[in-house]
Structure 1
Amino acid sequence: MSKAEWENNEEIKIFREYLRIPSVHPNVDYKPCVEFLQRQAESIGLALDVSYPVNDSNPVVVLKWLGKQPELPAIMLNSHMDVVPVFPEKWTYDPFGAEMDEAGNIYARGTQDTKGIGTQYLGAIRALKASGYQPKRTVLVTFVPDEEVGGYLGMREWIHTEQFKSLNVGFSLDEGSSSLDDAYYVYYGERTAWHLRFKIHGNAGHGSLLLPNTAGVKLNYIVNKMMEFRESQVKRLGSDKSLFFGDVTTVNLTRLSGGVQSNVVPSLLEVVFDLRIALDVDLAAFEQQIRDWCEQAGGGIDLEFEQKDVYVPPTKVDATNGFWVAFEQATKKLNLKIRPHVCPGGTDSRFLRAVGIPALGFSPICDTPILLHDHDEYVRAETYLHGIEVYKKIIPAVANV
């Protein structure tokens, strides 16, 4: 197809309209997104419900396609409306202009994360309904807020509401990521996220003295231990080509603070680490190891968890999970190569898995740079349209389990 043909394609028009809504952090205004989705629901013929599980600024939008057997657990197709901040000077095009170049690349924040899958779901359902198809299970297309800053004003609280429980969700599809080759990533689990703050107390005094047990000495010990562990994970990943990014534990120093003046030895220094802990790690033993390092450093170190997620069992990707079997069979019929992986980042699927709902992360994008949260985020028009065709096979497959 040519650029003109892509620009005149109705599904591409809908996608670009959604991309032009600047639902960007901080202080997201979701009203234009809700209005857009109301128009989509009306045009497709889907029931729409808007709820506010936490506050009036963070809506959850549910579009419902009633199944032939609505008593069966429903299929949820999830995406989030919010997007991360942009630095316009780093972009080739307006990040909310949804501009298309001559090659058919559509540039906008949210093309990959995750406005694309949201409108692809709708495009697939539009085509399926037009063909007269009705799923066995009810299909719910959900658009949630706040995912990009933790989901605490969206999915995390919504799953505990009576409204969510009444939906009787049995399986969910949510965001994945692009891949750099011709295979598609499918995420079946996520690592455990910890944000650790070390508040390191020590002897204070004049900067000209070699004082014992200073906060700086203790800080050095802690940072070295954490970085040594980090290096062990780098080597593990590099030495075993079968491992994916999500199979190892990541450790990153993200914040340092403390001190009052350059010639005063401070009584307190603080350092924060972001950890994403692999599924095979014993969390209790790992925490004890970190606490032992604090004692070995000289004590006087308070360990605070800014975030301490619990272990969430991954979704089974074998014959015991009928939804996985249906998903896999659909991809085989489409001649798609898929690679099941543990997701390197965090998505709303972790909240669903935590309450026993199997969930897969999947974005039908391959042979494309991974540009989630990056400058010049884009997706090719032909890739986007192909994704609708993929969902036209996958949605009926899982909805008919």
Structure 2
Amino acid sequence: MSTTRWENDEEIQIFREYLRIPSVHPNIDYTACVDFLKRQASSLDLPVEVVYPQNGLNPVVVMKWLGKQPGLPSILLNSHMDVVPVFPSKWTHKPFSADLDNEGRIYARGSQDMKCVGTQYLGAIRFLKASGFQPKRTVYLTFVPDEEAGIIPGLKLLVQSEYFTKMNVGFSFDEGIASENETFSVYYAERTLWALRFKISGTAGHGSLLLENTAGEKFNYILNKMMEYRASQVKRLEDPTIDIGDVTTVNVTQLKGGVQSNVVPPLLEVVFDIRVAITVDVAAFEKQIRDWCEEAGGGIELDFEWKEPYVAPTKIDPSNSYWVAFKQALDELGLKTRQRVFPGATDSRYVRHVGIPALGFSPINNTPILLHDHDEYLRAETYLQGIEIYKKLIAAVANV
């Protein structure tokens, strides 16, 4: 297919228009995104509201496709409007140009993570409405801010609101990750996210002495214990049936302490990024860490800069009728799928936390994983295939 053919495709034009909006951190002005989405809602004849769950800050755009039986729990199609920062000098195409090359690759920040999903929802609904289809259940589309920001994201605040309660959501779609082979990954759970700072106090004094109970000795003990645990998880990954999402990851991300080279410091600090596997008892794991602190000599304060609660996985068995419909639709399309635990964190965890089943799925296969990377791209053909997949999935789940 020629570049001209792609350029003239209405769905590709809509996708590229969205990609050209630089909704990039930090300090995003979401006005252009909101205006774009309002136009899309109007073209689909869908009611649209802009709500502000954070006391007037940062909008959430909500579109509503009324179902035949609106009293039934609704279906949520969620995506986020924001994208991560870029290093323009590392890109061969301008990161917000949505350039289309001769092989049909569309280059832009957000092409995989995850503006593609947001406009693919719209493309699927455009086709379904044109065909005369009306879902049994009401379908909501939410376009939320700040998923990438590391601050309280828009969907978390929305889920906590009375507005969301009235939406009566029964099941949620959200993002997944591209697959580099022919399979498609479906994510039914996420690990528990901790950012844990150890504040290690000890005896201070002259660097020429061998003082007892120093912060450095305690730090060494803690670091060894955490790295031994990390090594045990690396060992588990030698099993080809185990993914990164199935193990607990432990990584040093920050170190702080000391005033000069000849002074033994009274305090050292180290921060670990920890993603606790869903098979691990989080309370027992935290107790183990606290026990290590006592074994090190005590005087260690644990400061959880980020401590999310354990969130139960979405059931992927016959007890979940939404899952049955979702999987059956993929099977009918002849797609090879793999059920996985998401290695990072998405907005799905906030939905699951209030007891609503949620699946993460991006209809992208045979594509390099480029989210947050330089020269992020998505092939036009893959994008359009994703719309075809969502046509089937949305119709199937909305008619459960």
Q: Is the shorter-chain TM-score for this pair beyond 0.5, marking a shared fold? A: yes
Paired position in structure 1 for 2:155 = 155
Q: Do residues 388 (structure 1) and 387 (structure 2) align?
A: yes
Paired position in structure 2 for 1:200 = 200
Alpha-carbon distance in structure 2 between the residues aligned to 1:43 and 1:284: 50
Alpha-carbon distance in structure 1 between the residues aligned to 2:399 and 2:288: 48
Residue 145 of structure 1 contacts residue 151 of structure 1 at CA under 8 Å; is this kept in 2? Answer: no
What secondary structure does 2:279 align onto?
coil
Aligned length: 400
CA deviation profile, 1:57-87 (whole Å, cap 9, x unmatched): 3111111111111111111000000111111
Paired position in structure 2 for 1:140 = 140
Paired position in structure 2 for 1:79 = 79
CA deviation profile, 1:303-357 (whole Å, cap 9, x unmatched): 1111111111100111111111101111111111110111111001001001011
Shift of 1:149: 2.5
Alpha-carbon distance in structure 1 between the residues aligned to 2:370 and 2:248: 22
- Which amino acid in 2 is paired with 1:398? V
Paired position in structure 2 for 1:289 = 288
Paired position in structure 1 for 2:313 = 314
Paired position in structure 2 for 1:222 = 222
Shift of the 265–151 alpha-carbon distance from structure 1 to 2, 3 Å rule, reads: closer
- Which amino acid in 2 is paired with 1:353? R
Alpha-carbon distance in structure 1 between the residues aligned to 2:128 and 2:287: 53
Alpha-carbon distance in structure 1 between the residues aligned to 2:151 and 2:266: 36
* Range with bigger deviation, 147-156 or 379-388: 147-156
Alpha-carbon distance in structure 2 between the residues aligned to 1:316 and 1:382: 32
CA deviation profile, 1:238-269 (whole Å, cap 9, x unmatched): 1x111111110000110001111122111111
CA deviation profile, 1:206-265 (whole Å, cap 9, x unmatched): 222222211111111111110110000000111x11111111000011000111112211
Paired position in structure 1 for 2:11 = 11
Which contiguous aligned blocks of 4+ residues in structure 1 show a shift greater than 2 angstroms?
none
Paired position in structure 2 for 1:125 = 125
Alpha-carbon distance in structure 1 between the residues aligned to 2:2 and 2:387: 19
- Which amino acid in 2 is paired with 1:74? S
Gaps of 5+ in 2: none
Paired position in structure 2 for 1:165 = 165
Paired position in structure 2 for 1:24 = 24
Question: % of aligned pairs identical?
Answer: 69
- Which amino acid in 2 is paired with 1:56? G
Paired position in structure 1 for 2:242 = 243
Paired position in structure 1 for 2:363 = 364
Paired position in structure 2 for 1:345 = 344
Alpha-carbon distance in structure 2 between the residues aligned to 1:148 and 1:87: 16
CA deviation profile, 1:93-119 (whole Å, cap 9, x unmatched): 111111111111111111111100000
- Which amino acid in 2 is paired with 1:52? Y
What secondary structure does 1:92 align onto?
coil
Shift of 1:151: 6.1
Residue 58 of structure 1 contacts residue 153 of structure 1 at CA under 8 Å; is this kept in 2? Answer: no
What secondary structure does 1:24 align onto?
coil
Shift of 1:56: 2.8
Q: Normalising to structure 2: TM-score of the pair?
A: 0.98
Shift of 1:150: 4.2
- Which amino acid in 2 is paired with 1:367? N
Residue 174 of structure 1 contacts residue 361 of structure 1 at CA under 8 Å; is this kept in 2? Answer: yes
What secondary structure does 1:149 align onto?
coil
What secondary structure does 2:373 align onto?
coil
Alpha-carbon distance in structure 2 between the residues aligned to 1:111 and 1:17: 11
* Aligned-CA RMSD value: 0.9
What secondary structure does 1:227 align onto?
helix
CA deviation profile, 1:110-150 (whole Å, cap 9, x unmatched): 11111000000000101111111111111111101111124
Shift of 1:153: 3.8
- Which amino acid in 1 is paired with 2:166? S
Alpha-carbon distance in structure 2 between the residues aligned to 1:126 and 1:65: 11
Residue 29 of structure 1 contacts residue 57 of structure 1 at CA under 8 Å; is this kept in 2? Answer: no
